[in-house]
C-alpha cells in the first residue's frame, strides 16, 4: 500500500458481531472522500481504524506508507469526532486555547513560542473566526465550534483531516459555509475524509464517495458512484429524492 491512508482486508467485530468485514480502501493525497452508509454500518469504526485509533481483528492498516501501529507523527492527522463538542463544553477554555492544542505536539516540553502563536493566528484567520479567539468554546455556536476544530488541525499542520458527521446541530446557513471552507482546504491540498448523513451534500462537495454497510460496496469518483447502484445495495429501501437546492441525486431510507 502507498497512499495517505489505506486498509487492506480489514475486519473488526464487537462481541463477535462483525462491524467491518474484509474491507480494502485506499485514500490518495488530495482526495475528498465522502464515506456514507446506513446507521450502524461501521463508518465511524472504519474511520478510527484508518486513523490508527482502533486496531482491526485482521488485515493491514497504513498511514502515509507506514504501518499504523508504528506511525508516530500525530501532527499529520486532524480528527473532528462527534464527541468533540460534548468534551469541550465541559472545559473552561477559549477558542484560541483549543486551537493552540494543535501546536502542543510540535512544542513538546517547551512553551509555545512566537512562531507557534503566528501559526495559531493564521489558522484563526483562515477559518474566519479571529473575532471569536477569546470567547469560551462552550459559548459559540455549533458551526463556530467546528471551525475551531478545523483550525486546530490547521495549526497542527495536518495533511489528513477526518470528520465524523461534523454538522450535527449546525444551522443550515452555517452548514453551507462550513462545506465551502472544506472545499477551500481541499483545493489547497488537504486530504479530507468525511462521514455525513446527508448524501446530497456529500455528492455536492466530495470528489469521491465510498458506501459501507459492514462490507464496502463501492469507492470511486462521485459521478460514477451515483450511477453504480451501490446505494441501492446498501440501503435496501432507498429511494431517490430530487431537490431544487441540489443538482445531485439525494438518497434517503424509507420508513
Nearest to 48 by CA among 17, 20, 85: 20
8 A C-beta contact, residue 24 and residue 10: yes
Q: In this structure, is the dihedral angle defined by the CA atoms of residues 165, 171, 176 and 180, taken in order, positive or negative?
A: negative
Instruction: Give me the domains of the chain, ranges plus CATH numbers.
Output: 5-253 (3.40.50.300)
Q: What is the mean pLDDT of residues 42-54?
A: 94
- Range in 50-59, 86-95, 125-134 with the lowest mean pLDDT: 86-95
User: Which pLDDT value is given to residue 247?
Assistant: 39
- Rounded to an integer, what distance in angstroms lies between the CA atom of residue 33 and that of residue 55? 22
pTM over 0.75: yes
Give yes or no for residue 244 having a pLDDT over 60.
Answer: no
Q: What is the pLDDT, as a whole number, of residue 97?
A: 94
**28 C-beta neighbours (distance < 10 Å), count:** 13
pLDDT at residue 127 is higher than 60: yes
* 243 or 56, higher pLDDT: 56
Q: Tell me the Cα Rg of the chain.
A: 18
What are the tens digits of pLDDT across the range 81-104? 866 555 566 678 999 999 998 888
CB 127 within 8 A of CB 177: no
State what percent of residues in the chain have pLDDT above 70. Answer: 87
Coil, strand, or helix at residue 83? coil
Residue 175 pLDDT level (bands cut at 50, 70, 90)? confident
Average pLDDT of the residues of the chain: 85
Taken in order 1, 41, 249, 166, the sign of the CA dihedral is negative
Written as nine digits, the cell of 40 is 450502524
What was the pLDDT predicted at 25? Answer: 95
Amino acid at each position: 500500500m502507498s497512499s495517505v491512508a489505506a486498509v487492506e482486508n480489514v475486519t473488526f467485530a464487537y462481541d463477535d458481531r462483525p462491524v467491518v468485514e474484509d474491507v480494502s480502501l485506499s485514500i490518495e493525497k488530495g482526495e475528498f472522500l465522502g464515506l456514507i452508509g446506513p446507521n450502524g454500518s461501521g463508518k465511524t469504526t472504519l474511520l478510527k481504524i484508518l486513523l490508527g485509533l482502533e486496531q482491526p481483528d485482521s488485515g493491514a492498516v497504513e498511514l502515509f506508507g507506514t504501518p499504523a501501529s508504528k506511525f508516530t507523527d500525530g501532527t499529520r492527522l486532524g480528527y473532528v469526532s462527534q464527541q468533540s463538542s460534548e468534551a469541550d463544553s465541559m472545559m473552561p477554555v477559549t477558542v484560541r486555547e483549543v486551537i493552540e492544542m494543535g501546536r502542543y505536539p510540535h512544542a513538546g516540553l517547551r512553551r509555545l513560542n512566537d512562531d507557534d502563536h503566528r501559526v495559531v493566528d493564521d489558522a484563526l484567520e483562515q477559518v474566519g473566526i479571529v473575532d471569536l479567539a477569546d470567547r469560551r468554546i462552550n459559548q459559540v455556536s455549533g458551526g463556530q465550534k467546528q471551525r475551531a476544530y478545523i483550525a486546530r488541525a490547521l495549526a497542527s499542520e495536518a495533511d489528513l483531516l477526518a470528520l465524523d458527521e461534523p454538522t450535527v446541530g449546525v444551522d443550515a446557513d452555517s452548514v453551507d459555509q462550513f462545506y465551502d471552507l472544506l472545499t477551500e482546504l481541499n483545493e489547497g491540498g488537504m486530504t479530507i475524509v468525511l462521514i455525513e448523513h446527508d448524501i446530497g451534500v456529500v455528492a455536492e462537495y466530495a470528489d469521491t464517495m465510498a458506501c459501507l454497510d459492514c462490507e464496502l460496496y463501492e469507492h470511486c469518483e462521485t459521478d460514477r458512484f451515483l450511477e453504480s447502484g451501490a446505494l441501492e445495495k446498501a440501503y435496501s429501501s432507498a429511494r431517490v429524492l430530487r431537490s431544487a437546492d441540489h443538482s445531485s441525486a439525494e438518497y434517503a431510507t424509507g420508513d
